[in-house]
Amino acid sequence: MEIGSRSGAAVKAAITFTLARSRLDGGRNLFSPVAVLAQHCRSRAYRTAKACPIMKLFECQHCGQPLYFENTRCESCGRKLGYLPGKETVTAIESDRGAWRALADGSRYRCCNLINWRKIEAAKHRLFYTLLKLRLPHKTRIDDPRQGLAFDFLSPQGATAGNPIMTGHDSGVITINLAEADDAERERRRREMREPYRTLLGHFRHEIAHYYWDRLVRDSPGIAEFRQLFGDERQDYAAAMERHYANGPPRDWHEHFVSAYASMHPWEDFSETWAHYFHMVDTLETAGAFGIRVKPKISKGADLAATIDFDPHSATMERIIAAWLPLTFAVNSINRSMGIADLYPFVLPPPVILKLAFVHERIHAASQHSAAGGGAPQQDAEQAGRRALRAVVAGLRRGVGVPDPI
């Protein structure tokens, strides 16, 4: 949480306090972040700020010092300042039980860092792009007040004793710790957790997978196959987590899981795999949109060739895998030419390809289900099973290895 920045443009630095109000009063933000930011940007203060850098004069509610819109701290009494879009005023704020009290109206607020907020919104939009392209059902909290999707983007400074801000999912509510939008902080956590990849988009894709596990797997006929592939999710989650953090992942996790974290519990394995599937279809679509073809100029180049001339959102798993491996081989090599980390720092062993095929099948069963208006057809599952096997075979025949990590 940062109270603006003098270096940025006035509006970029201005802090909106409105967002968390409902939360402090026991409510949720639902999809309000977009609405509130939009409302803020349309506000008179914003328009005036763009047109005239002087604009209205404000005063500190504590000491009476005249304030400019650009001020982030009172020059006289040193109090931090924020902006209340609803009241169109700059207000002095004081720390109050993990939140802030605005002297302009005496109410408590949380404040948000607009720059971090934008990064989180951009990642969320990309998440929804793929949800929509895959025709996945996505009821909001308004459509379904008990289990619908809602998002909380919370500052770690809003944490209270015994109630830390954790990125996670709970019955449709996805919480993202705002600290993850800070690149330096996220990189620090990535190193600490020894992860090859940690992004806001990855967090969204992982957390929403927990939501879809509840919807598409838990009560579906696919639960038996899930347990075969991922393990029995009825094992004690807290004990699994404790074991994971105490002992680390199993030594041979690379042969069975897409990430070390996935080895902790079948739920996490599913989420990591699901997120991975999203990475694949989105990246393949982008590569296809640029007309990228891979045709290595070596004698066995045909084995590494791929033309991405299909829509990965509706393609078979076999086709996705067949294009994916050569593409990642190429893009990793390109990144290494620039001396930067691999775009795709993962290896896909056969068991992970089977798990990806399971995710693929569940997603397409759900989209066909919603398109047909109900009645998940049994034959879909059987077809998907065959597709999964072909996908594995395709993956193995390619024999494409990812270069050793730098």
Q: Does 67 bind Zn ion (CB under 5 A)?
A: no
- CB of residue 78 vs Zn ion: minimum separation in angstroms? 7
Which candidate, 239, 387, 218, places its Cα nearest to that of 314?
A: 387
- CB of residue 90 vs Zn ion: minimum separation in angstroms? 11
162's tokens: 């015994």
Q: Are residues 102 and 85 in contact, defined by beta-carbon separation less than 8 angstroms? A: no
Binding Zn ion (rule: CB under 5 A), the pick from 32, 271, 283, 328 is 271
Where does this chain touch Zn ion (CB under 5 A) — which range of 70-78, 175-183, 239-247, 308-316?
Answer: 70-78
Binding mask 77-96 for Zn ion (x = CB under 5 A): x-------------------
**DSSP per-residue codes, 335-351:** HHHTT---S------HH
- Using the minimum distance from each CB to Zn ion, give the nearer residue, 101 or 390: 101
- Using the minimum distance from each CB to Zn ion, give the nearer residue, 77 or 334: 77
- Using the minimum distance from each CB to Zn ion, give the nearer residue, 266 or 312: 266
Binding Zn ion (rule: CB under 5 A), the pick from 23, 62, 101, 215 is 62
Q: Are residues 258 and 348 in contact, defined by beta-carbon separation less than 8 angstroms? A: yes
| DSSP category for residue 73 | B
| DSSP category for residue 151 | E
- CB of residue 45 vs Zn ion: minimum separation in angstroms? 20
Q: Are residues 203 and 180 in contact, defined by beta-carbon separation less than 8 angstroms? A: yes
- CB of residue 234 vs Zn ion: minimum separation in angstroms? 17
Q: What angle do CA 400, 405, 406 make, to 5 degrees?
A: 135
- CB of residue 79 vs Zn ion: minimum separation in angstroms? 5
- Using the minimum distance from each CB to Zn ion, give the nearer residue, 62 or 198: 62
Q: Are residues 388 and 380 in contact, defined by beta-carbon separation less than 8 angstroms? A: no
Cα–Cα distance between 235 and 239 in angstroms, integer? 8
Q: Does 396 bind Zn ion (CB under 5 A)?
A: no
- CB of residue 17 vs Zn ion: minimum separation in angstroms? 17
Q: Does 286 bind Zn ion (CB under 5 A)?
A: no
- Using the minimum distance from each CB to Zn ion, give the nearer residue, 268 or 282: 268
Q: Does 63 bind Zn ion (CB under 5 A)?
A: yes
Q: Does 104 bind Zn ion (CB under 5 A)?
A: no
**How do 168-170 and 150-154 pair as beta strands?**
unpaired
- Using the minimum distance from each CB to Zn ion, give the nearer residue, 202 or 288: 202
Where does this chain touch Zn ion (CB under 5 A) — which range of 19-27, 65-73, 158-166, 387-395?
Answer: 65-73
**DSSP per-residue codes, 81-135:** EEEETTTTEEEEEEEETTEEEETTT--EE----HHHHHHHHHHHHHHHHHHHHTT
Nearest-10 Cα torsion for 115, 121, 122, 125: -170
Binding mask 226-265 for Zn ion (x = CB under 5 A): ----------------------------------------
Cα–Cα distance between 86 and 108 in angstroms, integer? 14
- CB of residue 263 vs Zn ion: minimum separation in angstroms? 13
Phi/psi-derived region of residue 377, left when phi > 0, alpha when psi is between -120 and 50, beta in every other case: beta
Cα–Cα distance between 348 and 277 in angstroms, integer? 11
- Using the minimum distance from each CB to Zn ion, give the nearer residue, 71 or 107: 71
- The label of the residue with tokens 């620039």 reads 338
Where does this chain touch Zn ion (CB under 5 A) — which range of 59-67, 237-245, 309-317, 357-365?
Answer: 59-67
Q: Does 60 bind Zn ion (CB under 5 A)?
A: yes
Residue partners of 210: CB distance under 8 A and separation at least 6: 168, 169, 267, 271
Cα–Cα distance between 310 and 191 in angstroms, integer? 36
Q: Does 74 bind Zn ion (CB under 5 A)?
A: yes
The dihedral sign for the CA sequence 238, 243, 249, 251:
negative
- CB of residue 169 vs Zn ion: minimum separation in angstroms? 7
Binding Zn ion (rule: CB under 5 A), the pick from 22, 76, 160, 235 is 76
Q: Are residues 152 and 29 in contact, defined by beta-carbon separation less than 8 angstroms? A: yes
- CB of residue 76 vs Zn ion: minimum separation in angstroms? 5
Q: Does 65 bind Zn ion (CB under 5 A)?
A: yes
Query: Which residues form the interface with Zn ion (CB under 5 A)?
Result: 60, 62-63, 65, 74, 76-77, 268, 271
